[in-house]
Structure 1
Amino acid sequence: MIDVAAEAGVALKTVSRYVNGAGNINPAMAKRIGDAITKLGYRRNLAAASIRPGWTSKTIGLLISDLANPYYSSIARAAEARLRDAGYLLITASSEEDGDTHDRLVDSLFERQVDAIIVVPPRSSGRPWSSVREPHPPVVFIDRPAPLEGADTIIADNRGGALEAVDLLRAKHEHVAFLGDSLSIYTMQERYLGYGDALRRRGEQVDPALVSTSAHSEQEAYAAALTLLRAGKATAIFAANNRATVGALRAFADEGVRLPLIGFDDFEAATLVRPAVSVVSQNTQAMGHLAAEVVLQRLDRDTAADSRLEVLSTTLVLRGSEAE
């Protein structure tokens, strides 16, 4: 900044105000500073600045379970937009549902002096969060319950959304199959419970022959859907995540049959097939935006304030695939 001030012919303090976003600098002076910064290639060293009293890194960490899943990319996009407006950079990483990887990434983000982190707890647990020693920046958990008592948490009503979808399918079709991922994942377990709730409303029990919980990837979902179709018992399918839905659609195409279908989580191609795919839609934009808001509130006030638990409602979007 000393070099920039000399090049622009202004005081060092004025350069400091400029690079920190002050808006009340004389326009001609601001232009000289901007030109000097361009000429000299100056960049602020936020990592160094963050160790000064009252300064921060202006970065937030987002630790999700799967970067390739459009569900999480939508959450990340919403969080990033809100944090960008507040002057923060979002750093995103994926645990791939592995507890040890998750723990290493948490430590890495803390070591980089992020101001806070937003976390999707992994399926495979690592160390208990209670063992992470203070002080550490604020942590907000999303998508799954917080593994830390008293932490801010934002989740969706997975069980209620699944119950509504399966109840509608079962009203028209006798044997509704469950196609999903491992029940060790909280969200999947909740959707499976909603599936069972809908059947019990009609005095029925879950038939294990209609349940598949191996659809972690699209290819695995495809294979599981083929197995269900070839067994010949299912008359409708509840696909418990977007990859299960896509796998089921591929299996329909290859087998030359279509069963009534409702998926959990919307996806871009859902309206491109005919009939378009009916889904239980989560408001991922709201989840990402709210996570960012809670983080900003924690950074703006005493972190000892009461924690928040937000349960976001889901919406059943009917497009025709449920009635085939």
Structure 2
Amino acid sequence: MTRKPTMADVARYAGVSLKTVSRVVNQEPHVSADLQRRVQDAIAALGFRRNEAAARLARGATMLTIGLIMENISNEFYARLAKAVEAAAAEHDALVVFGSYEERPERERMLVESMYARGVDSLIVVPSAGDHGWLAEGPRAVFVDRVPAGLPGADVVLLDDVTGGRMATEHLMAHGHRRIALISDDSGLSSVHARALGYREALEEVDEALVVKGVFDPWRVSHEVGRLLDLADPPTAFFATNNRAAIGILQALRDRPERPAFVGFDDFALADVFNPGVTVVRYDTARLARAAVDLLLTPSDAPRRIRVPVELVVRGSGEQR
């Protein structure tokens, strides 16, 4: 990020004193309309934003504020992560504010800059697939679940995605399946790529006709699952790389006679309610969040990468033949 304009820059541009700029910014009374206009014009021209962190310190406030930026907090994974980050931050008397960018890199950047301008001290980010080189000079950040493109020196907390993908696929193979379809979203995301890599390592020979990429919504997954099941040589099992894909598979199978096996990556609230229950690759979200907060509060000159282990939870859907 380029250097942010200061109140001193605004004062020079407007041709007024620093005290006058401070009074206008803090909405103090008894500033003439002409001076207010000159200062506001300078603020607009320079793109100045008040530093809320400095304002807090001036008031004697010292609470640390952490920004958590995610794809979509309505997704159960992100809701659980938000709750876990908030709990971990509370142990350090820190406040957490949230923002969702819904896989739009331009909104992600807007959220980062907006939080920074409003005094957020540091960030935990689940990065989009876009380049993040622009964050190299920005606020301190730790990344979760995905490696940020363009930031090779970033601190990152990841799941053991390759092992999870391999574990899910090998479990299906152990139950006699060889035509196993992969249902995934953006392969540009490091987590999705790694889970697919585990799938490929387990199968060794992959029928690319059974590989679906770039589907985010359950209804699209449902459509793709139906299409695959209508093939002349359909898959007998599925591996879903996230909870949305697993839900889409359930939607597709609701109205079909076939009962293929499937394993999902990410647990979700109703996974053990269905009959059979949904077999998933699961992990400790609290551990993921705690590791991110710990990295954030213990800066290091050397980049750090933590990998959180995963486990297979057998409930029935992956054991069908």
TM-score bracket relative to the smaller structure = 0.7 to 0.9
Distance 1:149 1:215, change over 3 A: closer
- How far 1:222 sits from its partner (Å)? 1.1
Distance 1:170 1:89, change over 3 A: same
Distance 1:212 1:146, change over 3 A: closer
Do 1:214 and 1:224's aligned partners in 2 also have CA atoms closer than 8 Å?
no
Equivalent position of 1:166 in the other structure: 169
Structure 2 length-normalised TM: 0.77
Equivalent position of 1:150 in the other structure: 153
Match of 1:104 among 103, 110, 119: 110
Distance 1:295 1:54, change over 3 A: farther
Match of 1:62 among 64, 68, 72: 68
CA distance in 1, matches of 2:53, 2:122: 15
CA distance in 1, matches of 2:300, 2:130: 29
- AA of the residue aligned to 1:206: V
- AA of the residue aligned to 2:310: T
CA distance in 1, matches of 2:155, 2:214: 31
Equivalent position of 2:215 in the other structure: 215
Identity of aligned residues (%): 34
CA RMSD of aligned residues (A): 2.0
For structure 2, list consecutive stretches of 5 or more residues without a partner in the other structure.
Answer: 1-51
Say whether residues 1:309 and 2:305 are aligned partners.
yes
Q: Secondary structure of the equivalent of 1:50?
A: helix
Equivalent position of 1:295 in the other structure: 296
Q: Which moved more, 1:75-84 or 1:227-236?
A: 227-236
CA distance in 2, matches of 1:286, 1:257: 38
Residues 103-138 of structure 1: per-residue CA shift (max 9 Å, x gap): 1111101101111110111023366333xx3xx442
Residues 11-46 of structure 1: per-residue CA shift (max 9 Å, x gap): xxxxxxxxxxxxxxxxxxxxxxxxxxxxxxxxxxx8
- AA of the residue aligned to 1:286: R
CA distance in 2, matches of 1:257, 1:199: 23
Structure 1 length-normalised TM: 0.77
Do 1:99 and 1:127's aligned partners in 2 also have CA atoms closer than 8 Å?
no
CA distance in 1, matches of 2:140, 2:83: 20
Equivalent position of 2:40 in the other structure: none
Equivalent position of 1:91 in the other structure: 97
Equivalent position of 1:138 in the other structure: 140
Equivalent position of 1:194 in the other structure: 198
Do 2:53 and 2:121's aligned partners in 1 also have CA atoms closer than 8 Å?
no
- How far 1:54 sits from its partner (Å)? 8.7
For structure 1, list consecutive stretches of 5 or more residues without a partner in the other structure.
Answer: 1-45, 298-302
Say whether residues 1:76 and 2:119 are aligned partners.
no
CA distance in 1, matches of 2:106, 2:228: 34
- How far 1:228 sits from its partner (Å)? 1.4
Do 2:54 and 2:119's aligned partners in 1 also have CA atoms closer than 8 Å?
no
Give the count of matched residue pairs. Answer: 266
CA distance in 2, matches of 1:306, 1:179: 36
Residues 277-316 of structure 1: per-residue CA shift (max 9 Å, x gap): 111112222111221222233xxxxx44433210111101
Q: Secondary structure of the equivalent of 1:92?
A: strand
- How far 1:255 sits from its partner (Å)? 1.1
CA distance in 1, matches of 2:213, 2:286: 27
CA distance in 2, matches of 1:257, 1:307: 48
- How far 1:157 sits from its partner (Å)? 1.0
CA distance in 1, matches of 2:201, 2:60: 52
Equivalent position of 1:6 in the other structure: none
CA distance in 1, matches of 2:147, 2:230: 37
Do 1:263 and 1:278's aligned partners in 2 also have CA atoms closer than 8 Å?
yes
Q: Secondary structure of the equivalent of 1:100?
A: helix
- How far 1:48 sits from its partner (Å)? 6.0
Do 1:218 and 1:244's aligned partners in 2 also have CA atoms closer than 8 Å?
yes
